[in-house]
Every structure is written in structure tokens, then in C-alpha cells.
Amino acid sequence: MTQTIGITKARQNFPELVNRVAFGNERFIVERRGKPLATLINAEEYQQIMDILSNEGINDHIHEIPVRIQYDGKQYFVSDDIIDLYGVGKTVNEAREDYWIAVQEAYADLSAHADRLAPHLEKQLEYLRQIFTDEKQTSKHNENA
């Protein structure tokens, strides 16, 4: 069970919280003014999460593109198997943003050379066109709603 606790209370009760996390299998989200800052979990659970991220990664989507997110102990990697791009960052969000920048750059580059692409690159361009078309339609729909 995960509980939310303010940072002041967490600071005042830190030794007790550590014991509850370590021996009671409780979890705490530490907040300041309603904004989550940190999560307290036990060391074994943390290691399991890191093992999953480093070995298998987790599946996710960025703008409808299926990606895998992995962590090597220093930085996060976001990659895909469709257009073979990747992004890196110190946080998951940084890696996701870096990946999306790579996608936008690849789309611009492929579009600029559309008349002379190899067949596999033509397929990538068509895939990206669909992603960006869907993206525009979603944005337009949200503006009208």
C-alpha cells in the first residue's frame, strides 16, 4: 500500500518511515504542496525495479510509437524497433523527449529526401507521416473540444 506524506512530516519521522518501508513493506510518496517529490520503497523492491529496467526494460508508447525504456544504472534509453531510433537522458522524461526530437528530425530528413529513398526508408517515411497526421488530427480535435 502506498501512502502520501508531506515533506515536513517525512523529515520529522524519517527513522520511523525507513523502518516501516524496510520491515513493513509500506511505501510513501513524499510531497511538497501537493506535488510528488520522491518515493520511499524498500531496497529489495528498488533492486527488482532496476533489474527489470536494465535487463528487460518496459514497453511504452510515445506518440503512438511503441518503444522500450531501459536503464543502465546511469541513464535511461528509449528505443523502437520500427524506425530504429533512440533517445537518452538522466531521467525517463529526458530520454522520452530526446527520442521524440530524434523522431521529428528523422521525419524532416526523410521528407526532404522523399524522392530518392531506399524502399525501407520509404516505409519509415510513410509510417512517420501517419504518426504526424494522426498527431495533427488529435491536436485539432482537442482544440475544437
Count other Cβ atoms within 10 Å, centred on residue 114.
12
| 93 found inside a domain | yes
Place of cell 528487460: 56
Domain match, 32 and 90 both: no
Q: Which domain holds residue 28?
A: 2-41
Domain match, 64 and 96 both: yes
Residue 43 pLDDT class (50, 70, 90 cuts): very high
Count other Cβ atoms within 10 Å, centred on residue 107.
18
pLDDT tens digits, one per residue of 96-125: 999 999 999 999 999 999 999 999 999 999
Domain count, the chain: 2
pLDDT at 145 over 90: no
Rounded to whole angstroms, how far apart are CA atoms 66 and 121? 18
Residue 1 pLDDT class (50, 70, 90 cuts): confident
pLDDT tens digits, one per residue of 133-143: 877 766 655 56
pLDDT of residue 144: 57
| 48 found inside a domain | no
How does the average pLDDT of the chain come out, rounded?
92
Please give the DSSP secondary-structure letter assigned to residue 52: H
| 50 found inside a domain | no
Contact 100, 87 (CB under 8 A): yes
Q: At 98, which CATH number?
A: 3.30.160
